[in-house]
A and B are shown apart, each in its own frame.
Chain A
Amino acid sequence: MAPAVALVLAVLGLALLVGPAGLEMGGVVTALADRLPFLEVESSLTERELTILWEIRLPRAVMGALVGATLASAGAAYQGVFRNPLADPYLLGVAAGAGLGATVAILLRAGGFPSMPLAPLAFVGAVVGVALSYGLSRTRGRERRSATTLVLAGVAVASFLTAVQTFLQLTNVTTLREVYSWILGRLVTVGWADLYAVLPYMVVSWVVLLVFRRALDVMAVGDDEAATLGLSPRAVRLVVVGAATLGAAAAVSASGLIAFVGIIVPHTVRLLAGWSYRVIIPLSLLVGGAFLTAADLVARTVVSPAELPIGVVTAFLGGPFFLMVLRTSGDLE
């Protein structure tokens, strides 16, 4: 746990230091120290540099960490309750549903409801996405169902929801630009207000998943046996899927569609720290935060001064990783 915390702090520090306006390390450290209670330190940064630090780099780095933590823990939770190593917010249609919901919210904003928040509608869309994917995968007979069935259903649902979303987008050209950049996944325009808007949903999601992490271990023996051990598998699935979906929807409404974080991070954690969700959930939160902040760092430096959408970076890493999990998933079922 301690190395993971150190990793998060190191990545966050790096994200604050790297960028087109070179901030020197001593100045950043003293500026941060100055904000601590009971400490008065004079930072060497100029007023403009302080603004870059506080209003651009820090919220963006923190948002990266929050979104990464939420997507990674949601992925781990889906894998646990569905007993499916390939489950991920993106592959289950959760992200596409949230995207559709958020698009509808953006359209409503343009059409006379300027204060329409994204997260609640994104959550509704995300719930529809995961419910459709799971429901469709269950229509196949038990003996013909495998780990890939759920993912195939998820891909179909995601394609459908994305088609609806694209249709809405194209028939409302005025909002096209805004939605387009958002769909690719971005942390660009993040300010503190964006962050505060989604943080409560994410915190609720984390707390529920942390409370249910032992229940996820019990679910590993299957619904029948979990029930004889004293757990109600349906209730656990409902609560955990609800919490993970709430978090994922909040993440998607903040940063667009970022794929594969929910696969890469939990499986890496599993390789390093074992099978138990008591470890996987908290570590996925930390490692996920570090991972996405780092991915964002890559996204905004490799083609500097331009930026890659962060979803491109995670998909570039996640595609090969997914294939690896698919190859070994026989062991995980």
Chain B
Amino acid sequence: MTGLRLSDVTVVLGETRVVDGVSLRVDRGEWLGLIGPNGAGKTTLLRAITGGATIETGEVSYGAGDLSQLGARRRARLMAVVPQHPVVPWGMAVADYVLLGRTAHMGWLGRETSHDLDVARRAVVEMGLEKLSTRRLDELSGGELQRAVLARALTQAAPLLILDEPTSSLDVGHGQQMMEMVDRLRGEQGLTVISALHDLTLAAQFCDRLVMMAGGKAILEGPPGAVITERSLRDHYGASVRVLTGPDFGVVVIPLRSDNGPGEQPASLNVGTL
């Protein structure tokens, strides 16, 4: 079933075509990962979808509807966004922050109904934040904050979840937990997920399909193993890597040192122990 579709989308910032004629589609229930070197246009492409960037030419649609016609309120009911660097408002408690996700469902007077409170409470439980719900946001650790942001996104009850580098500020354990949580939510609630991802290994493990961007264009598209290759990383990231694939771990990218460092003979690594 067709979910989100971008056709020939171009975004110009200043003089630069930061997103240059990108077309792609994301089916409902699918997880699409955007990868690519720094400055490739991943974040701007996400902003073109969320309405944060002005689309010069092209169209973004969901189902049968053109998203450019959508007001902020209707858009917020369609897609929830987890930004890369969420703003942390001073003094706000976790429970109140999560409840902000209900904004698009409230009337003009902004009174929460018991249903709004229920939805927020469920999201808090879902993200394992019960014990932290009265804590101040500015007192949370990076991983806890990321869970609070995800809980806020959940309360929007939107079918599309958009994440910009959700693991970039997390350590390997918290990053993995974050991805697993998103995957579980996707299964339970039938969400369609689009995320820009920095970590290629995680991207390959969790995404159904990847799009590699470079210079504002979508260069490669396909299943993770077809997009993350030694050649594509050399050509578009300027990286010298070895890519290992295996049935139990997906794709692993190993950077190679150009001098006589320990990465000189990666071929001797025993793949089975990884």
Which A residues are within 8 Å of any B CB, using their own CB?
211, 213-215, 217-218, 220-222, 224-225, 227-232, 270, 274-276, 278, 331-333
Contact = CB atoms under 8 A, between A and B. Distances in A.
B91 A274 contact: yes
A218 B90 contact: no
A227 B52 contact: yes
B247 interface: no
A218 B71 CA distance: 17
B81 interface: yes
Contact of A221 (B100, B104, B110): B100
10 contacts: A211-B110, A213-B110, A217-B96, A225-B81, A230-B75, A230-B77, A231-B72, A270-B91, A275-B92, A332-B90
Nearest to A233: B72
Interface in B44-61: 50-52
A221 B79 CA distance: 17
Contact of B52 (A215, A228, A274, A331): A228
A278 B77 CA distance: 23
A224 B86 CA distance: 10
B83 interface: yes
B216 interface: no
Interface string B73-109: 1011101110100110111100010001101111011
Given A221-B89, A275-B89, A276-B96, A230 B83 contact: no
B104 A230 contact: yes
A232 B75 CA distance: 11
Interface in B8-60: 50-52
Contact of A228 (B76, B106, B108): B76
A163 to B, nearest CB: 36
Contacts of A220: 87, 89-90, 92
B86 A221 contact: yes
Given A228-B51, A228-B79, A230-B77, 5 more contacts: A224-B52, A227-B50, A227-B51, A230-B103, A333-B90
B108 A211 contact: yes
B154 to A, nearest CB: 13
Contact of B72 (A230, A275, A332, A333): A230
Contacts of B76: 228-230
Interface string B104-129: 11101110000000000000000000
Nearest to A210: B109
B101 A229 contact: yes
Given A213-B110, A230-B103, A225 B83 contact: yes
A270 B87 CA distance: 19
Contact of A275 (B52, B83, B91): B91
Contacts of B92: 217, 220, 275-276
Given A229-B156, A333-B90, A214 B110 contact: yes
B73 A230 contact: yes
A224 B83 contact: yes
A227 B109 contact: no
Nearest to B74: A230
A9 B174 CA distance: 54
A275 B90 contact: yes
A217 B100 contact: yes
Contacts of B75: 228, 230
A229 B100 contact: yes
Contacts of A222: 87
A220 B87 CA distance: 8
A229 B71 CA distance: 11
Contact of A211 (B79, B109, B156): B109
Contacts of A276: 92, 96
Given A221-B87, A274-B91, A229 B52 contact: no
Contacts of B104: 229-230
B40 to A, nearest CB: 20
Find the residue from B73, B91, B106, B156 having the highest chain A CB count within 10 A: B91
Contacts of B103: 214, 218, 229-231
B101 A215 contact: no
Contacts of B51: 227-228
Nearest to B101: A229
A231 B51 CA distance: 12
A279 to B, nearest CB: 11
